[in-house]
């Protein structure tokens, strides 16, 4: 009899479930629920573009629906499938996405008093309102606890745990006073499914704790009370209501409660793995191991690789953390990424691309991809910086913005689109160079996500700029599949490394670099580096006066 696992993937705009056969990775069914609140599931504030919150009720409603629908689809499609054969549940979410909760693990915004209070809602990963607090934390850590920054790339981010909590306290003291503690989204869902109502009993994810909350066993867990007290005198008391230990995702967080068994149709007592972030679990479904670098290409990007714990890999400046156990047991997980990729393209087509390219978004993208595919690299004379949503890696600075240089009266929209694709690829190359600079060798790149699957022109440009072959994961739902693998791994008869090897698959198509394009892109990347360092690094003294003319020279050479 086959065994199955279910993976639950909570993304930025929707959540989904996938049921897989844990012996071969075959996917039986999937279900998607689009968050109904706000705009595409995100609650914003017209007065502040940095605000990005979510309604926890969307998670609860979506959770029930996607499990029920995926079970029904599997039962209808496979006569030998029975929900009792599901041996584990795994959960991944975005992060850092903290939720203020009361002493019963109930999100504050579900209480009538805070129902309409945006500050009591979920603080989504892409909320950048706490940039001042992030700078403050970075400065204090540099002065008092430099070791705290070594494991998170040298700079603390506004996208992370403590920045958001400190900012919430300052702008909404009533919400802070009513909050018993904060729970990461990836810890909340397993606790909810398990029926845990005491925050002190929740098993916290080392992935979330290590990458975003400055947690490390080497200094006793979370930042010490003295340090937190220097940030705010009330934070030490909050630390007492948080956690002392954090766990990898091959351990059990709990078992499915009777309430959620009755809601979903899953059997009571199914083990639930400790949660983690989406890209970390997705990397496992892509086959991540030492030497394999995974790229999840979507609205933003997340890059993941691992190094065995026997190798000393403590500090890589500008990355989003080097954390033992965050991806695979007994391995340091290394995370990096870009704050906007697909979001830049969507902004462009929604606001800049004229209707002459098509009647809707899909038609415009299709037309632009056809037109730009015929243009040689550098022929537009354009060069961009991909910082429309700030820079996550390697500068870790949300107060940076996008740049496009080289426009003329003849510049067309599809050329701008290509320039932004190239800019995101140059950003990706900058990350790879930084990781390898600090001794982490990359032998293979596996991509996944909507852009990797759907946009062949983008993938070829990436292969040319990175000057490496690019593989694409076979599954369209790698994050959910990775979660399912961890759900299975909490059973003694299954090992996460064996599950990875059996269930991670890639497509036959491999994007190979075009060597004539590689040569041109090396010239363009040199110019990109000058722009990157000049606008992102105070210490850079590059001569920018030559860039426009060099872009014109390249354009003339390529036409």
Which residues are within 8 A (CB) of 189 and not within 5 positions of it... i.e. 6 or more apart? 8, 10, 59, 63, 91, 93, 275
User: Residue 14's CB: how many other CB atoms inside 10 A?
Assistant: 16
CATH number belonging to domain 4-277: 3.30.420.40
| Nearest one of 222, 218, 223, 247 to 312, comparing CA atoms | 218
The CB-based long-range contact list for 256-259 (8 Å cut-off, 24+ gap) reads 256/89, 256/193, 256/194, 257/193, 257/194, 257/195, 258/195, 259/195
Question: What dihedral angle (degrees, nearest 10) is formed by the CA atoms of 72, 78, 83, 88?
Answer: -110
Predicted confidence at residue 92, as pLDDT, reads 98
Predicted confidence at residue 405, as pLDDT, reads 98
Separation CA 82–CA 102 (nearest Å): 37
Predicted confidence at residue 44, as pLDDT, reads 96
Predicted confidence at residue 374, as pLDDT, reads 86
| Nearest one of 232, 236, 242, 240 to 133, comparing CA atoms | 232
Q: Please state the domain extents for the chain.
A: 4-277, 293-472+514-559
Maximum separation of any 2 CA atoms in the chain, in Å: 69
CB 499 within 8 A of CB 489: yes
Predicted confidence at residue 541, as pLDDT, reads 77
Which residues are within 8 A (CB) of 126 and not within 5 positions of it... i.e. 6 or more apart? 12, 42, 52, 159, 300, 339, 389
Phi and psi, residue 472, nearest 5°: -125, 130
User: Residue 177's CB: how many other CB atoms inside 10 A?
Assistant: 9
pTM comes to 0.93
What is the block-wise mean pLDDT of the chain (559 residues), using blocks of 10 residues? 95 96 95 96 95 98 98 94 96 97 98 96 96 96 94 90 98 98 99 98 98 95 97 97 97 98 97 97 97 94 95 84 95 94 95 96 95 92 96 90 96 97 98 96 96 94 98 96 98 95 95 96 97 87 88 90
CB 536 within 8 A of CB 397: yes
Which residues are within 8 A (CB) of 100 and not within 5 positions of it... i.e. 6 or more apart? 107, 108, 109, 120, 168, 175, 176, 178, 179, 182
Predicted confidence at residue 398, as pLDDT, reads 85
DSSP three-state, residue 393: coil
Q: Is 403 exposed, middle or buried (0-12, 13-18, 19+ CB in 10 A)?
A: middle
Separation CA 24–CA 367 (nearest Å): 39
Separation CA 108–CA 102 (nearest Å): 6
Separation CA 280–CA 93 (nearest Å): 10
Which residues are within 8 A (CB) of 59 and not within 5 positions of it... i.e. 6 or more apart? 10, 15, 122, 185, 188, 189
Predicted confidence at residue 98, as pLDDT, reads 98
Q: Looking up tokens 């039962």, which residue turns up?
A: 75
Separation CA 252–CA 90 (nearest Å): 10
The CB-based long-range contact list for 41-45 (8 Å cut-off, 24+ gap) reads 41/12, 41/13, 41/14, 42/12, 42/13, 42/124, 42/126, 43/118, 43/121, 45/118
| 4-277 matches 293-472+514-559 in fold | yes
Predicted confidence at residue 542, as pLDDT, reads 78
CATH number belonging to domain 293-472+514-559: 3.30.420.40
């Amino acid at each position: 009899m086959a065994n199955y696992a279910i993976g639950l993937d909570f993304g930025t705009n929707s959540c989904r479930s996938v049921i897989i056969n844990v012996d071969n990775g075959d996917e039986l069914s999937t279900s998607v629920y689009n968050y109904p609140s706000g705009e595409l599931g995100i609650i914003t504030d017209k007065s502040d573009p940095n605000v990005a919150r979510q309604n926890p009720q969307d998670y609860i409603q979506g959770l029930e629906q996607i499990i029920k629908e995926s079970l029904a689809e599997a039962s209808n499609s496979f006569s030998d499938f029975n929900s009792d054969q599901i041996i584990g549940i795994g959960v991944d979410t975005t992060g850092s996405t903290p939720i203020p909760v009361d002493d019963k693990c109930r999100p504050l915004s579900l209480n009538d008093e805070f129902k309409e209070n945006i500050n009591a809602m979920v603080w989504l990963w892409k909320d950048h309102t706490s940039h001042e607090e992030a700078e403050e934390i970075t400065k204090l850590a540099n002065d008092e606890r430099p070791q705290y920054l070594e494991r998170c790339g040298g700079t603390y981010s506004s996208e992370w745990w403590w920045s958001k909590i400190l900012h919430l306290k300052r702008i909404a003291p009533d919400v802070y006073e009513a909050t018993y503690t904060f729970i990461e989204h990836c810890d909340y869902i397993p606790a909810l499914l398990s029926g845990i109502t005491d925050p002190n009993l929740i098993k916290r994810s080392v992935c979330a704790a290590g990458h975003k909350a400055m947690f490390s066993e080497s200094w006793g867990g979370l930042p010490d009370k003295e340090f937190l007290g220097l940030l705010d005198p009330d934070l030490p008391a909050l630390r007492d209501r948080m956690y002392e230990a954090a766990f990898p995702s091959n351990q059990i967080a709990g078992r499915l409660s009777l309430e959620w068994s009755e809601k979903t149709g899953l059997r009571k007592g199914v083990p639930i793995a400790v949660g983690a972030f989406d890209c970390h679990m997705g990397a496992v479904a892509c086959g991540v191991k030492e030497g394999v670098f995974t790229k999840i290409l979507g609205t933003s990007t997340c890059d993941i690789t691992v190094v065995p714990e026997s190798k000393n890999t403590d500090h890589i400046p500008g990355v989003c953390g080097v954390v033992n156990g965050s991806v695979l047991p007994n391995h340091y997980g290394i995370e990096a990424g870009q704050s906007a990729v697909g979001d830049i393209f969507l902004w462009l087509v929604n606001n800049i691309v004229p209707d002459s390219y098509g009647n809707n978004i899909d038609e415009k993208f299709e037309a632009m991809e056809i037109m730009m595919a015929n243009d040689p690299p550098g022929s537009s004379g354009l060069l961009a910086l991909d910082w429309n949503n700030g820079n996550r890696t390697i500068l870790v600075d949300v107060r940076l913005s996008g740049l496009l240089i080289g426009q003329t009266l003849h510049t067309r929209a599809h050329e701008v689109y290509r320039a932004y694709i190239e800019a995101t690829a140059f950003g990706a190359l900058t990350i790879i160079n930084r990781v390898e600079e600090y001794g982490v060798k990359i032998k293979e790149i596996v991509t996944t996500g909507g852009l990797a699957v759907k946009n062949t022109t983008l993938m070829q440009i990436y292969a040319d700029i990175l000057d490496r072959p690019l593989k694409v994961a076979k599954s369209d739902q790698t994050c959910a599949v990775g979660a399912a693998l961890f759900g299975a791994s909490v059973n003694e008869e299954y090992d996460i490394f064996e599950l990875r090897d059996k269930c991670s698959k890639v497509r036959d198509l491999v994007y190979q670099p075009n060597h004539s394009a590689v040569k041109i892109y090396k010239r363009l990347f040199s110019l990109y580096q000058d722009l990157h360092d000049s606008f992102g690094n105070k210490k850079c003294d590059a001569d920018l006066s030559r860039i426009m003319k060099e872009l014109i020279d390249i354009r003339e050479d390529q036409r």
